[in-house]
Structure 1
Amino acid sequence: MLHSTGSLLTIDVGDRTTVAEDVDDVLSSFIGGRGVGVKLAHDRIPFDADPFGPENSLFFTTGPLQCSTMSFTGRMNCTGVSPLTDGLLSSNAGGFLSRHFAATGYGAVQVTGRSDDLVAVHVTDEGIEFEEVPQLAGATVTEVGEYMADEHDLGDEQLVVAGPAGENRVRFASIMTTEHRAFGRGGLGAVLGAKGVKCISFAGDSAPDIDIDPIQMDVHREAATANDHPMKSAGTTSVTEYANHVSALPTRYFSELEFEGASDIGGEAVAEKKYKKGTCSQCAFACKLPTKDEETGLETEGPEYETVMAFGSNAGVDDIVSVMKSNDLCDELGMDTISCGDVISAYLAANDEFGNDELVHDLVEKIAYREDEGDLLAEGVHRAADDLGVEDWTVKGLEFSAHDGRTLNGQGLAFAVSNRGADHMYAEFYSKEYPLVGKDEAVDPTGLDGKPPLIVAKENHNAVLDSGVVCKFSRDFMTEERLETLLDTEYERLQDIGAEIVELERHFNNERGFDREDDTLPYDLPDFEAALSEYYAERGWNDDGTVKSASASADD
């Protein structure tokens, strides 16, 4: 089986020590990326670790396909205990970081401990350097990039950065890279900030030589020539108007499912602001969205569909430039746009301020610096809901993304069972229910009959993609047969590996107290409890949502 190579580098930022060790057994069993990160985290982070404590770790991992020249491979993974969900969580980011990481020669990098002084860590194939950077306290993502360029000749694409939100332990702070790309969901930026790490850089010339099947060029060529694909002009926002049409667009803090201003913030509105092509490393698909507003001079990347929902329809805002500004502020300050937009929408609901975009922008900054009401909102919806007097629209503490499960019922169940919480990309089941796939894969969005096994298969498949690492927007190009060929393993075995990854996450979270009661939704779905039991049975788990002793704990 094709898999990542290289040692695990453990960096203790508290005592300034580093250790490299062989983890070939993990790499050969879990491919790379999320699989390797989850296995290492499961075995090396104490089950009772405080997310903000020195015993929590962040595992940065990439996959074997980052040694290819194939489209859809400009991504990498980060895994740790989330301060937002309190469970094990993996997040992956696009951009241009992954190949710089691979060039260090390491298969995985663990960051643990806690530094008393603000520090930058420089990881190269020739050694590791610790640099105290008190002058960067409170610096924005752009300011950190400028410093690293001036002082070390490092580009933004070589950095992972904790913005002010990460330093201030905002529970949904992102780890930022390549300026506008984010390890977004779950607050891993706050973990980095709690460790006293402002920035980590990766550089080298020791990328492994991994033999990858020539079919990679077929994928790359098709990505380059798919000129009529809607993602190429408007990115993920191309689905906005359609989601609104089928009543799946969360609006005014989830109180409605359609937004009258959807066309003002949707795909066409974003495409009008797009001024050049944008992409990730090696990717010819080029679905990113460099945008500019000539009148205000605002220049950013995005917003993507989820941000359009969180800062647009869910906040009652129908001005695309306002949404662009919210997006840009989150990128500069280092925050997940979905969680930040949702918690601000909760505040707007509590204070009857929907549509007040000046207030929205003010709150973004207050959250990042934990000023005034921003201190409460920085805790996220789950912890702030009672004080605000609003309904808790989260699963496992993670704020909802779009593709509403009240219309797309299978996606609703997928939100509930996801180990990560209310994240649409964990199973990506919405693609079957709109549908965004062919007729042979599409399912009726109404009801849950027959869907639990399909959700299991999608979760397993996506765990493998996250281990490869392959962008999920490759779905029109990356068939099961191609994935099987590229990873040199039968697809059935890949499904088994995906199931092992999901089960390791579940077991870790079970040890932290998660069970069936956490697989819930703030709305009713038909036959939900029966479908939940069917999902557990399909996975071979107990009916209370816990794993049996099996593979997850066998190596403890």
Structure 2
Amino acid sequence: MLHSRGPLLTIDVGAETTDETDIESVHREYIGGRGVATRLAHERIPFDVGPFAPDNRLFFTTGPMQASRMSFTGRMNCTGVSPLTDGLLSSNAGGFMSRNFAATGYGAVEIAGASDELVVVHVRDDGVRFESVPDLEDATVPETVAYLEDERGITADQTAVIGPAGEREVRFASIMTSEERAFGRGGLGAVLGSKNVKAITFDGDSAPDIEIPATQNEIHSEAATDDNIMKRQGTVAVMDLANEIEGLPSYYFSERQFEGVEGINGAAVEEKKYKKGTCSACAFACKLPTKDDERGVETEGPEFEVAMAFGSNSGVDDIVDVMKSNELCDRYGLDAISAGNTVAAYLAAEDEFGNDDLIHELVERIAFRDGVGDTLAEGIDRAHEELGVDNWTVKGMDFAAHEGRVLHGQGLSYAVANRGADHMYSVFYSVEYPLVPDEQALDPTGTVGKADRLVQRENLMALNDSGVVCKFSRDYMNPDRYESLFSADFEELLAVGDRVVTLERHFNNQRGFDASDDDLPYEIPDFERALEEYYDARGWEDGVVPDDAVPAGVSV
């Protein structure tokens, strides 16, 4: 089976020491990316660790497909205990850092401990250097990137950076790479902030020699020549469809259609797009560099989730206002989905929907934990009672845009996903809109009978995150191509994904998670029956992994 190579580099930022460990056996079992990071985290992070404790660790990993020049491979993974969900969580970012990371020659980089001073950690194939950077305290992401380039000759594509939000341990702070790409969803930027690490940089000339089958060329060619609406509008292309089927969260989830949708939909974004945007080696080029010269706004995006959170869910019908919110989140290092939804909760509490000036002020106040921003920085789950609004979260994570009250299988996915109400854990919405061929589609109504398909989808997404292969490759990947690229039977590859999901669940079980956490703040048909079908399909008991279901070689 194709897999990543290279040792684990452990960096203790408090002691300023490093250590290397052979993890070849882990690579063979878990391929790379999220799989390898989850296996290492399960072994090396204490089950009872606090998210901001020095013993919490972050694992940066990428996959064997970074040795290719294939489209859909410019991504990498970060894993740790989340300050937002309090469970083990992996976050995935695009951009251009993955191949710079691979060039260090390390198969995984582990950040442990906590520094007494603000530092940048420079990881090279010939060693690690710690740089004290007290002058970068409170620096924005662009300011930090500019410092690294001007003073150290390090480009944005070599960096993982936090902004003021990460330094202040905002529970949904992101780690930013390539300046505008985010390890979002779950607050791992706050974990890096708790360790007093402002940035990590990667460079070298020691990428492992991994032979990738010629199938990569077919996929790359198709991605380059295909006429796909995502190349023009990104994920926001689905917004009109979502609104049409009454599946667009609006006004802090109180409504499911938005009368101002034409002001924030795919066509509105496309109008502001001024050049192509892509990730490393990818000819699909679905990113959205946008700007409005009249108002001086320039950003990358918004994608659908952000256009929902800062748009329809906040009562905003002007794409430039949403672009400004997106720009501010990237500047301060905030997950734009959680930031937007949390702001929407405040707007609901204060009856201020549509107040774009207030929205932009709140983003900055959250990043600096200023006044009410300190409350909102805790996220909806911890702040909703003080705000007097409903708790629109699962396991502490607020909802993505794909509406589980309409797409019932997606609703079930939100409930059971180990990282909470995140759409990318199974991407089940794609078979229910549908965004796939008819023979792969499911009726969005109902939950019974969907558990086996949901398990398969979760396992496949875990495989993609281990490969690492972008999930927007769905029109170009099939079982035969997976088998060709990874030199293994498709069912064997799905079994890797199953081990990853099981290890995440087992880790969280040791932290007290069980079936009571697999819940929704709304009703969908036959939910309890579907939940039992899901547990049966996984071989779990009341949401808990029994000892005999833990993957071989893992301590229980």
Specify the TM-score bucket, using the shorter chain as the normaliser. Answer: over 0.9
1:546 Cα deviation after fit: 3.8
Preserved CA contact (<8 Å) 1:141 1:332: yes
Q: Secondary structure at the match of 2:198?
A: strand
- Residue 195 of structure 2 is matched in structure 1 by 195
Matches within 5 A, 1:38-53: 38-53=38-53
Q: Distance in 1 between matches of 2:242 and 2:128?
A: 47
Residue 99 of structure 2 corresponds to residue 99 of structure 1: yes
Residue of structure 1 equivalent to 2:535: 536
- SS of residue in 2 equivalent to 1:129: strand
The answer to whether the Cα contact below 8 Å between 1:507 and 1:553 also exists between their aligned partners in 2 is no
Q: Which residue of 2 aligns with 1:454?
A: 453
1:72 — aligned with what? Answer: 72
What is the CA–CA distance in structure 2 between the aligned matches of 1:325 and 1:423, rounded to whole Å? 23
Q: Which amino acid aligns with 1:401?
A: A
- Given that 2:539 and 2:545 are in contact with CA atoms closer than 8 Å, whether structure 1 keeps it comes out as no
- Who is 1:249 aligned against? 248
Show the 5 A alignment for 1:397-412: 397-412=396-411
1:161 maps to what in 2?
Answer: 161
Q: CA deviation at 1:449?
A: 2.1
SS in 2 for 1:440: helix
> 2:183 aligned with 1:183, yes or no?
yes
Aligned to 2:143: 143
**2:448 touches 2:529 (CA, 8 Å); kept in 1?**
no
Q: Where does residue 465 of structure 2 map in the other structure?
A: 466
**Contact kept in structure 2, 1:515 and 1:546, CA below 8 Å:** no
Deviations 1:287-315 (A, max 9, x none): 00000102112111100000000000000
In structure 2, what residue type is equivalent to 1:317?
Answer: V
**CA deviation profile, 1:50-81 (whole Å, cap 9, x unmatched):** 10010000000000000100000000000000
User: CA separation in 1, counterparts of 2:163 and 2:515?
Assistant: 35
Measured on the aligned residues, the alpha-carbon RMSD in Å equals 0.8
Following superposition, the deviation at residue 549 of structure 1 comes to 3.7
* Structure 1 residue 479, shift from structure 2 partner: 1.1
Point out where structure 1 has 5 or more consecutive residues left out of the alignment.
none
Work out the CA distance in 2 between the residues paired with 1:107 and 1:216.
Answer: 22
**Alignment partners' CA distance in 1, 2:320 and 2:542:** 48
CA distance in 1: counterparts of 2:90 and 2:66, whole angstroms = 18
Quick one: distance in 2 between partners of 1:430 and 1:342? Answer: 20
Structure 2 partner of 1:124: 124
Q: Secondary structure at the residue paired with 2:423?
A: coil
TM superposition shift of 1:478: 1.1
Matched residue, 1:522 = 521
Alpha-carbon distance between aligned partners in 1 of 2:70 and 2:137, rounded to the nearest angstrom? 38
- SS state of the match for residue 425, structure 2? coil
Find the counterpart in structure 1 of residue 310 from structure 2: 311
CA drift of 1:544 comes to 4.2
Letter in 2 for 1:460: N
Q: Is the contact made by 1:3 and 1:27 (CA closer than 8 Å) also made in structure 2?
A: yes
Map 1:151-300 → 2, pairs under 5 A = 151-226=151-226, 228-300=227-299
Aligned 8 A contact 1:41 1:57 in 2: yes
The runs of 5 or more residues in structure 2 that have no matched partner are none
Report the AA paired with residue 333 of structure 1.
Answer: Y
TM-score by length of 1: 0.99
Partner of 1:395: 394
Once the 2 structures are TM-superposed, how far is the Cα of residue 337 of structure 1 from its aligned partner?
0.6
Q: 1:94 to 1:203 in 2, by over 3 A?
A: same
User: 8 Å contact 1:541–1:548 — kept in the other structure?
Assistant: no
In the aligned structure 2, how far is the partner of 1:134 from the partner of 1:241? 47
The answer on 1:377 being equivalent to 2:407 is no
Q: Does residue 413 of structure 1 match 2:412?
A: yes
Specify whether residues 553 and 514 from structure 1 end up closer, same or farther in structure 2 by C-alpha distance, changes over 3 A only. farther
Q: TM-score, normalised by structure 2?
A: 0.99
**Which runs of structure 1 show a deviation greater than 6 angstroms over 4 or more consecutive aligned residues?**
none
Which amino acid in structure 2 is aligned with residue 29 of structure 1? Answer: E
Displacement of 1:163 after TM fit?
A: 0.6
* 1:111 match: secondary structure: strand
- Using the alignment, how far apart are the partners of 1:553 and 1:337 within structure 2? 38
2-side partners of 1:407 and 1:31: how far apart?
Answer: 35
What's the CA shift for 1:151? 1.2
Q: CA deviation at 1:543?
A: 2.7
Displacement of 1:150 after TM fit? 1.1
